[in-house]
Amino acid sequence: MAEAYIVEAVRTAGGRRGGRLAGWHPSDMAGAVLNAIVDRTGMDPAAVEDVIMGCVSQGGEQSFQIGRNAVLSSKLPESVPAVTIDRQCGSSQQAIQFAAQAVMSGTQDVVIAAGVESMTRVPMGSTGMLFREAGLGRAKSPRQHERYPDIEFSQFMGAEMIAKKHGFDREQLDAYALESHRRAAAATTRGDFRDEIVGLEIETPEGMIIHDRDEGIRADSTMESIGAVKLLKEGGVISAANASQICDGASAVLVVSERALKEHGLTPLARVHNLTVTAGDPVIMLEEPLFATDKALKRAGMRIDEIDLYEVNEAFASVPLAWMKHVGADPAKLNVNGGAIALGHPLGASGTKLMATLVHALHKRGLRYGLQTMCEGGGIANVTIVERL
């Protein structure tokens, strides 16, 4: 089977809700990372055969096929097609896997996987809420209700259930959250994000500036400040401080074939080594990365200690902690530059965002294998293993 290569991987710096990226229309923000892929590689934009765009809240400014709208907001020609996909938080990680599958099958040679989410302009849950308020129904069907009677599919409850099942208390979750902020702050100070971030112009009272620094990092966080944040559920362990931040952002990854490398004079950053997606319990919901990783490692013929870096999305601190305990992972290799608790989780953009961070971290540290996994609504998880080149 043909190989799939990652040539470039970029992201915007995260913007807090109502923060620095609030003035950017999501189509324009997504168009900016598509432009960055073309500019950084120097390739002919007409050579792109498809754009696969992850986006979760596909309403309002993110409706009417935002993948196509992003192309029309970019320097890519009208001849470049696009599609928008929703695998919840793993949407753009699935975009990478679809792009790699297209290349590995030989049906396409140059595909951009990308993602976008403006959680300021299209708030999380707003699409379902607006339809319910208009009397147009809700997602859970009568037959689903028969199968799961009186059960609410809730990521917040799932995070609580994972913490309880795997034996994590609030102090452990808060300590993990604090470490995420510390690592993200240290990575920013070192300039580790410089190669992956696409700066965006924003208007401020002082004039036009470039937004190129993640807005959500709290370098001054302490256990006391994190512990003072109200719990989401009385008697629970999850708070907004040990969960991912609402975030605006976009990201993109260029996936190509070996033929395209030669034809366009491109230099690969990484080779796609394994693609896995699994599904399990939709109630506990966010635990599936544990079992998806088991399957991915088995299919790849690898052990967890052979993987040099892991990016496990920090939807809630209980998820990476449970993942690490289950697979026997080294905490020193996990989210080495911080994660979504500090950097933000722009839903549909997080998959390609994490891949940008993972690939560049492998290069900066001179390491070989990286594994990325993401918990997703409905009890699904993607795992992608890459090899630095």
- Catalytic (active-site) positions: 89, 345, 375
- Which residue from 296, 267, 261 is spatially nearest to 93, judged by alpha carbons? 296
**CB 288, CB 378: distance < 8 Å:** no
Give the integer Cα–Cα distance in Å for 201 and 164.
44
Residues forming beta bridges with residue 208, ordered by sequence position: 203
Query: Helix H segments across the chain?
Result: 26-41, 66-72, 91-105, 126-133, 142-147, 155-166, 170-190, 223-227, 258-264, 288-300, 318-327, 340-343, 350-365
**CB 162, CB 286: distance < 8 Å:** yes
Give the integer Cα–Cα distance in Å for 198 and 15.
13
Give the integer Cα–Cα distance in Å for 45 and 38.
6
- Which residue from 239, 61, 221 is spatially nearest to 156, judged by alpha carbons? 239
Phi then psi dihedrals of residue 148, to 5 deg: -125, 70
